[in-house]
Amino acid sequence: MSLELLEEQRESWGSRGGFILAAVGSAVGLGNLWGFPYKLYSYGGGAFLIPYIVALLLVGIPLMILEFSLGHYSQRAAPDAFKGVHKGFEVVGWWGIILGFVIVTYYPVVLAYCFSFLAYSITGMFNGGKLPWAGEGLEGVANAKNFFFQTYLGYHEGMRLGGIRWNIVLPLVVAWLSMYLCIFKGVRLVGKIVWLTVPLPWLMLLILTVRGLTLQGSMQGLAYYLDPVWSELAKPVTWRYAFGQVFFSLSLAFGVMITYASFLHRKSDINNNALIISLADFATSFIAGLAVFATLGGMAFVTQQAGNPVPVENVAEGGPSLAFVAFPYALAQLPYSAYFSFVFFFALITLGIDSAFSITESVLASIVDKTGWHRNIVLPVMSIIGFAFGLIYITKGGLNWLGAIDGFVNGTRGITLLGMLECIVLGWLWRIGTLRRHANSRSDWKVGKWWDYMIRLVIPILLGILFFWQLFEDMNNETGFLRTPQGRWIPENCIGVAVLVLAPVIAIVLSLLKDRRGNIVLPHKEQDLETKARFGGLVALTSALVPTVQYIISLNIDISPSIKNTILWILPIGGAITIVLSSYILEKYNTSTTQASWPARWAGVIATMNVSMFIAAILFDLTGKAEIHEIKTPANHELTGVSYIILAVVFLIIVGGLGWCFYRAIATTSKFDGPQSPDEIGDSEEQQS
């Protein structure tokens, strides 16, 4: 099937705004409200913004441009988009989709909690403001914890499931039904619904922020959030969390953004959209943090005045505890608590719902693209399966399953590996220049050739470091990883690993199934091009492989540390030489009539991995084993001058960045008086670089 034909048949978003809001809706989710603020607070306060912004600029935004351009170029959901690149890479697309499906089995469960707590808040509103988790002092905090964990979840430690909590079944049905209703009509309706589900949580957050900031004590709360603890920057875990958070928050690596962009109109912008969406996501996270910590500060003040003090550090906990214990408890200490609880849980629902349905839509579109089955059949079946899996997480031990699986899929073991695979497939094994030109030809501003090297080198090396570092830590974990030294299995890790291992296996099976629909045809079908640099490619491959093989052997035999060390250093030296050689071959021979040989491309992949493996090994040696993290907050809880500067810089980045994006969009529209440059420019000029 040709691209033109696809264009005629594929649905599209109603407008540019519809697409931007849908992508923002996917990015802005539960992760912004409970992930970002708590990570900032736990990993160095304002200092955490440095790794976060580094990750956003170096990895997040370039990768979002990559996913948008691939989706838009191929006009197919992730698996087919990768298949268009090369048949063998369909598996990479499915891998992301399957891990995305894993997320969509538990994300609605958290939405279900929100629906329940929303109902409690509404009951409270009609009940003289009485909330079931209200209490006073530290005892009150214990009560609020007890309400969520025992009364609501019936929680027990460990991975034993211990029976379904029937009180959460109906909210889970409501969550799935809401998602279903949002997407069953296709993306055009989604493009309209998001005009509601994106601005509404922003409005709610604004209410909570203004209200939080006007409370007495709010500035002390903000000190916990913003006062920097610079020493945290020296810890690897700070960087790992920053990168992981950027990925999860921008909905990257699971094929969502590829799929969403596949429904984009043929002439729409890519680069500017990616920047707008990334900055909007960052802004939402940061402002959500202001709302949370200002309110916690207000709560600390009120409880102190009442003679039953609850300091911020006694309630600030991550994840579900923040949303279902700390924040509701804090609100309950303040006037109009039921109303503000309603606002908070309504914000969570509207934040989460479009993220949840974005993953559902991307799984759905992948299946529909592959099989040609009708979405009206696939969606209900998928929803029922997703709901059925969700029942696991609403058992008494379900929250532990959720934590374990989320930790693996979203952490450095899942999401970063996928991001790295995406980059090496598109950067080395395919023609990244094609995607750059495709994106540039229709965007309000252009990315330079440096972007190719970000995708080919910088991002895979950075992500590779995080992945291998984690791997080295897991392999050297003194308390064991899959089994303790005493031989006892560690179930949470076994379950996490099982999910991670099963995903590529299922992905392989799916990619082997025959397509019911016509195969996608991207320009530059490799078989039609003359292959160049066969010999040069073999030389490059050898110079990449020899150090790798040496290194792996050296890990498994007994040799003196100095020889081991020498072998380790050959990795980056061989890697650098190979990278230069392969890059040269690719630049020279990937033209409209010729292509670089496969060994030359694979040499680049292996060399990139070698470099990241080397840096990870060095960093692992320097930092030692996995550490138990303790939250360090500054001793004096006053908002310092540095924190005000941090606040100003962040606002400058957000307002300045978004202002620039809008300026470019307006400038381009008035220059061309309509859509950007014609499509053909992007797709047919392989010769110019």
What backbone torsions phi and psi does residue 133 show, to the nearest 5 degrees? -100, 5
Q: At what angle do helices 641-672 and 218-226 cross, to 10 degrees?
A: 80
Contact with ligand PFF (CB under 6 A) among 71, 100, 154, 390: 100
Residue closer to ligand PFF by CB (options 78, 338) is 78
Residue type at 449 in one-letter notation? K
Secondary structure of residue 530 in the 3-state scheme = strand
Nearest alpha carbon to residue 34 among 300, 370, 316, 431: 316
Residue closer to ligand PFF by CB (options 250, 581) is 250
CB distance 158 to 400 below 8 Å: yes
Residue closer to ligand PFF by CB (options 19, 254) is 254
Least gap, CB of 359 to ligand PFF (angstroms): 5
Q: Which of residues 485-524 bind ligand PFF (CB under 6 A)?
A: none
Secondary structure of residue 162 in the 3-state scheme = coil
Pick the stretch among 57-65, 158-166, 243-251, 527-535 that binds ligand PFF (CB under 6 A).
Answer: 243-251
Residue closer to ligand PFF by CB (options 100, 572) is 100
User: What DSSP line would sit under 56-110, residue for residue?
Assistant: IIIIIHHHHHHHHHHHHHHTS-HHHHHHHH-GGGHHHHHHHHHHHHHHHHHHHHH
Secondary structure of residue 126 in the 3-state scheme = coil
Residue closer to ligand PFF by CB (options 26, 341) is 26
Least gap, CB of 329 to ligand PFF (angstroms): 23
b/e per residue, 417-443, with b = 16+ CB within 10 A? bbbbbbbbbbbbbbbbbbbbbbbbbbb
> According to the binding rule CB under 6 A, does residue 459 interact with ligand PFF?
no
Residue closer to ligand PFF by CB (options 140, 411) is 411
Residue closer to ligand PFF by CB (options 66, 581) is 66
Least gap, CB of 257 to ligand PFF (angstroms): 8
- Alpha-carbon distance 184 to 261, whole Å? 18
Least gap, CB of 93 to ligand PFF (angstroms): 13
Least gap, CB of 37 to ligand PFF (angstroms): 12
Query: DSSP secondary-structure letter at 455?
Result: I
Contact with ligand PFF (CB under 6 A) among 6, 19, 24, 32: 32
Pick the stretch among 85-93, 245-253, 318-326, 331-339 that binds ligand PFF (CB under 6 A).
Answer: 245-253
- Residue appearing with tokens 């099989």: 371
Contact with ligand PFF (CB under 6 A) among 209, 220, 238, 355: 355
Least gap, CB of 169 to ligand PFF (angstroms): 23
Least gap, CB of 254 to ligand PFF (angstroms): 4
Pick the stretch among 25-33, 49-57, 139-147, 501-509 that binds ligand PFF (CB under 6 A).
Answer: 25-33
Pick the stretch among 29-37, 142-150, 178-186, 472-480 that binds ligand PFF (CB under 6 A).
Answer: 29-37
Pick the stretch among 30-38, 508-516, 593-601, 664-672 that binds ligand PFF (CB under 6 A).
Answer: 30-38
Least gap, CB of 351 to ligand PFF (angstroms): 7
Q: Which of residues 246-305 bind ligand PFF (CB under 6 A)?
A: 248-249, 251, 254, 256
Residue closer to ligand PFF by CB (options 278, 595) is 278
CB within 8 Å of 683: residues ≥ 6 apart: 3, 73, 434, 437, 438, 441, 523
- Residue appearing with tokens 């029942």: 391
- Alpha-carbon distance 172 to 387, whole Å? 7
- Alpha-carbon distance 162 to 394, whole Å? 10
Number of C-beta neighbours around residue 453 at 10 A? 15
What SS3 string covers 375-392? HHHHHHHHHHHHHHHHHH
Least gap, CB of 478 to ligand PFF (angstroms): 32
Least gap, CB of 173 to ligand PFF (angstroms): 21
Residue type at 427 in one-letter notation? G
Nearest alpha carbon to residue 81 among 438, 385, 382, 609: 438
Q: Total binding residues for ligand PFF by CB under 6 A? A: 16
Residue closer to ligand PFF by CB (options 101, 472) is 101
For residue 46, what are the CA distances in angstroms to 43, 286, 595?
A: 9, 11, 48
3-state helix, strand, coil split of the chain in percent (to 5) is 75, 0, 25
Least gap, CB of 634 to ligand PFF (angstroms): 27
> According to the binding rule CB under 6 A, does residue 359 interact with ligand PFF?
yes
Contact with ligand PFF (CB under 6 A) among 25, 29, 46, 124: 29
Residue type at 312 in one-letter notation? V
Residue closer to ligand PFF by CB (options 538, 654) is 654
- Alpha-carbon distance 356 to 29, whole Å? 8
> According to the binding rule CB under 6 A, does residue 63 interact with ligand PFF?
no
Residue closer to ligand PFF by CB (options 96, 574) is 96
Secondary structure of residue 565 in the 3-state scheme = helix
Pick the stretch among 116-124, 200-208, 353-361, 663-671 that binds ligand PFF (CB under 6 A).
Answer: 353-361
CB within 8 Å of 530: residues ≥ 6 apart: 593, 594, 595
For residue 559, what are the CA distances in angstroms to 504, 563, 621?
A: 35, 7, 18
Residue closer to ligand PFF by CB (options 103, 466) is 103
Q: Which long-range contacts (CB under 8 A, 24 or more apart) does 378-382 make?
A: 379/180, 379/183, 379/184, 380/180
Pick the stretch among 21-29, 429-437, 524-532, 538-546 that binds ligand PFF (CB under 6 A).
Answer: 21-29
Least gap, CB of 70 to ligand PFF (angstroms): 15
CB distance 253 to 96 below 8 Å: yes
Least gap, CB of 282 to ligand PFF (angstroms): 11
> According to the binding rule CB under 6 A, does residue 358 interact with ligand PFF?
yes
What backbone torsions phi and psi does residue 394 show, to the nearest 5 degrees? -105, 25
What SS3 string covers 591-645? CCCEEECHHHHHHHHHHHHHHHHHHHHHHHHHHCCCCCCCCCCCCCCCCCHHHHH
Contact with ligand PFF (CB under 6 A) among 18, 31, 154, 460: 31
- Alpha-carbon distance 621 to 258, whole Å? 37
> According to the binding rule CB under 6 A, does residue 26 interact with ligand PFF?
yes
Number of C-beta neighbours around residue 474 at 10 A? 16
Q: Which of residues 103-132 bind ligand PFF (CB under 6 A)?
A: 103
Pick the stretch among 85-93, 211-219, 312-320, 355-363 that binds ligand PFF (CB under 6 A).
Answer: 355-363
Residue closer to ligand PFF by CB (options 30, 118) is 30
Residue closer to ligand PFF by CB (options 194, 300) is 194
Least gap, CB of 200 to ligand PFF (angstroms): 16
> According to the binding rule CB under 6 A, does residue 78 interact with ligand PFF?
no
Nearest alpha carbon to residue 330 among 378, 290, 296: 296
Least gap, CB of 323 to ligand PFF (angstroms): 12
Least gap, CB of 509 to ligand PFF (angstroms): 22
Contact residues: ligand PFF, CB under 6 A: 26-27, 29-32, 100, 103, 248-249, 251, 254, 256, 355, 358-359
